[in-house]
Amino acid sequence: MNIYKALWQNALMYILYFIILFITGTIGYVIIEDYTALEALFMTTITLSTVGYSETKPLHDAGRIFTIFLILGNFGILTYVIAKVSQFLFDGEFRILYKRLSMENKIAHLSDHVIVCGCGQNGFEAIKELRKSNLQYVVIDKDEPVASKEIEFLIHDDATRDEALLHAGIKRAKAILITLPSDAENMFVVLTAKELNPSITIISRASKDSSVKKLKAAGASNVIMPDKLGGVHMANLVLFPDVKEFIDVMSTYGNDENNIQELIPTKTQTLEQLNAWQNSGATVLGVREKGGEYVINPPKDFLISPEIRVIVLATSDQADVLRKLI
């Protein structure tokens, strides 16, 4: 990781300074005082360690001047090291490092979470919805998002890099939302995500109509065009204002009492046998068949099975009851 790499680089730099100073002292005493290698090594050691032993041999003036500079050099390095350690401990670097290490450790233990690539306007709106549903998520963004303090797991990296996706735990994630501004970048992330985790659900943003088929062919489960949806939404607010507002309240903006939810059946039965309204108070709005087709307001003899997804309008308590029956 970059953190450990930076720490090792700093530690190696300090060690290298001492080694250079140690070698300089040994060679200096050999040349200036005509010491043997062992005598020079001993003299350098007691000088740098300041243990207070007597000189190996009486020093000449040149040797004493050299010793003064050797001690000052050693003092300078120690001062530099102490200053860096103090800065690390007291200027917030330690706290930042600890927080980052703690975050990385938590990410390493996440599973069935959602990865959000890009924290722009679309990405942040998606994050707010994930937060409402108490879903764990990891955000990857090259820049510092405006609301970064609200994001628990934030990785500053390029989402197109394999390392960034692996760092976010893509092999253990259940879904990835790709909201980068460039369709080309989104395409690259889709291909990479599909390669790293073939079973992951991939939802990608697109800016152009021509990119939709390409993104789906690359492996995206769903492709969303926010600009196009926004235009359609605005037109429908003119044509069907009450209907659109009702749908927004139920889905987009959320509701403490009722939410549109997706349930996965665990057994095979008809909707009449399930009798969702009488048994739980939930309303079945539609189903998603195995092939991906939706059936809106399905008939009571419609057969549901574990391959079907049932879309219901229900409170949290009603959905919990229905999950036990479905």
What tens digit of pLDDT does each residue of 121-150 get?
A: 888 888 888 888 788 999 999 887 666 677
Region 294-302: mean pLDDT is: 92
Domain ranges of the chain: 2-91, 110-229, 255-325
CATH 3.30.70.1450 describes domain 255-325: yes
Name the pLDDT band for 50 (thresholds 50, 70, 90): confident
In angstroms, the Cα distances linking 237 to 151, 228, 255 are: 33, 14, 20
Region 154-178: mean pLDDT is: 93
Region 304-324: mean pLDDT is: 90
Nearest to 226 by CA among 239, 211, 216, 241: 211
Name the pLDDT band for 4 (thresholds 50, 70, 90): low
C-alpha to C-alpha distance for 229 and 225, rounded to whole angstroms: 6
Residue predicted with more confidence, 61 or 1: 61
The answer to whether the CB of 304 falls within 8 A of the CB of 293 is no
Name the one residue in this structure whose structure tokens are 């060679």: 27
Instruction: Report the pLDDT value the prediction gives residue 93, as an integer from 0 to 100.
Output: 64
Region 32-38: mean pLDDT is: 90
Name the pLDDT band for 1 (thresholds 50, 70, 90): very low
Residue predicted with more confidence, 253 or 57: 57
Most confident of 22-26, 79-83, 86-90, 127-131: 22-26
Angle between helices 93-108 and 61-90 (to 10 degrees): 60
Region 162-179: mean pLDDT is: 94
Strands 114-117 and 175-178: parallel
Nearest to 314 by CA among 258, 263, 274: 258
Does 112 score more than 70 pLDDT? Answer: yes
Does 240 score more than 80 pLDDT? Answer: no
Amino acid at 195: E
- Of the listed ranges 123-137, 145-159, 243-257, 293-307, the one predicted with least confidence: 243-257
Instruction: Report the pLDDT value the prediction gives residue 322, as an integer from 0 to 100.
Output: 92
Backbone CA torsion sign across 5, 10, 11, 13: positive
Instruction: Report the pLDDT value the prediction gives residue 81, as an integer from 0 to 100.
Output: 80
Q: Helix H segments across the chain?
A: 2-33, 37-49, 61-90, 93-108, 121-132, 162-167, 183-196, 209-218, 226-239, 241-247, 271-274, 276-280, 316-325
Instruction: Report the pLDDT value the prediction gives residue 250, as an integer from 0 to 100.
Output: 63
* Structural class in CATH, domain 2-91: mainly alpha
Share of the chain above pLDDT 90, in %: 40
Name the pLDDT band for 24 (thresholds 50, 70, 90): very high
Residue predicted with more confidence, 194 or 146: 194
Q: The domain 110-229: what is its CATH number?
A: 3.40.50.720
Residue predicted with more confidence, 239 or 311: 311
Region 75-98: mean pLDDT is: 74
In angstroms, the Cα distances linking 25 to 71, 133, 284, 325 are: 10, 66, 84, 82
Residue predicted with more confidence, 90 or 322: 322
> Mind spelling out the 3-state secondary structure of 90-110?
HCCHHHHHHHHHHHHHHHHCC
Neighbours of 256 (CB within 10 A): 8
The answer to whether the CB of 104 falls within 8 A of the CB of 81 is no
Does 273 score more than 90 pLDDT? Answer: yes
Q: What is the pTM of this model?
A: 0.58
